[in-house]
Homo-oligomer: A and B are copies of this chain.
Amino acid sequence: MTENELIALLRSAATDPAARGLDDDVAVLALGETHLVLTHDMIVEGVHYLPTDPPADVAWKLLAANLSDLAAKGAEPVGALLGYMLGEDGWDRAFAEGLTTALAAFGLSLLGGDTVAASAGMPRTLGLTAIGRSRRTPPSRAGARVGDLLWVTGSIGDAGAGLAVLRGELEGESALIERYRNPRPRLEAGQRLAGFVTAMMDVSDGLLIDASRMAKTSGCAVAIELQSVPLSQAYLHARGDAREARLDACTAGDDYELLFAASADSARRILALAEEIGLPCSRIGAFGDGSGVTITDRSEPVALPQKLGFEHRA
């Protein structure tokens, strides 16, 4: 069963408006003047991280992946609950140290959680619930309107290239591995953008699949300009700038950048904000009538790749 099939089965149980119909990456509880934003992500050894990844980096990534969801809602992190599978002492110790470091780096507190024991030889499964707060109503992924522009922060594809380097499939700089192991949730950008974007989400499963999800829940089509997708120098060094390299960047996932829609007259404000916080924001497409995602490369239509990104499937 796919994630979408499970969500379809569970949608009738999402009776509270805080669930946002299970269409968003987060739940949003309105409590007086505060909006509490809640998200839960899991990672599995061998699927979301390599067995050889340093435990401190696994802790960082588990936290950062959750905080990236808070960032996309403009929320300030408050705390985290950890679901931990106990294993080998040295690994557990290094994970705990790494998690402590990561929590301090992002300024939030561990609030609680649970532990279970791993069976022998079983891949570790870890979960984390992050809690954030916001004064304003957090943007959903469903608010993009026909005519809005599509933007993304930072650069795309680095983490996927970093994974390929770790697997020995690609030669590349350590900066790529760093992006794979130590993603930086775009908390400041998210908080600053949340006031005027029409839709926002993070890029975790791949730019194309995540953009198509935003378009679908918003009831629009989205057209992506491949030549505008921001690639880092490290990515270009490793992969070059051919169309295939660009498409690979757009489907690799693990980017933890912010993908957002905004009206065309917000463009100047977005570029000024990007300058101010030192994080590029690139306009990569636009929303239109209809449905689905289309790609062009310097105005030339490009066939969609068979896989738009990572899909959760048993």
Alpha-carbon distance A44/B79, docked complex (angstroms): 25
Q: A97-B9, A100-B13, A314-B92 are in contact. Are A27 and B81 (CB under 8 A)?
A: yes
A16 and B112: CB pair below 8 A?
no
Please tell me which one of the listed residues B34, B39, B42 contacts residue A116 in the complex, with CB atoms under 8 A apart: B42
Is A119 engaged at the interface, CB distance under 8 Å to the other chain?
Answer: yes
Tell me the complex Cα distance, A6–B99, Å.
Answer: 11
Q: Report the separation of the CA atoms of residues A226 and B108 in the bound assembly, to the nearest whole angstrom.
A: 44
Q: Say yes or no: is A195 at the interface (Cβ < 8 Å to chain B).
A: no
Name the one of B14, B109, B119 contacting A47, with C-beta atoms under 8 angstroms.
B119
Which of these, B24, B38, B87, contacts A131 with CB under 8 Å?
B38
Quick one: given A27-B81, A31-B31, are A13 and B99 in contact (CB under 8 Å)? Answer: yes
Complex contacts, A108 vs chain B, CB 8 Å = 16
Is A209 positioned at the interface, with any CB of B under 8 Å from its CB?
A: no
**A24 partner residues in chain B, CB cutoff 8 A:** 112
A-B contact pairs, 15 of them (CB 8 A): A1-B87, A3-B115, A10-B110, A13-B100, A16-B111, A18-B109, A18-B111, A29-B79, A31-B34, A31-B36, A38-B81, A39-B81, A41-B83, A42-B114, A117-B313
Given contacts A13-B103, A19-B110, 4 further A-B contacts (CB under 8 A): A3-B86, A47-B116, A117-B313, A125-B125
**Chain A residues within CB distance 8 Å of chain B:** 1-3, 5-6, 9-10, 12-16, 18-20, 22, 24-27, 29, 31-32, 34, 36, 38-44, 46-48, 78-79, 81-89, 92-93, 96-97, 99-100, 103-104, 108-119, 122-123, 125, 127, 129, 131, 312-314
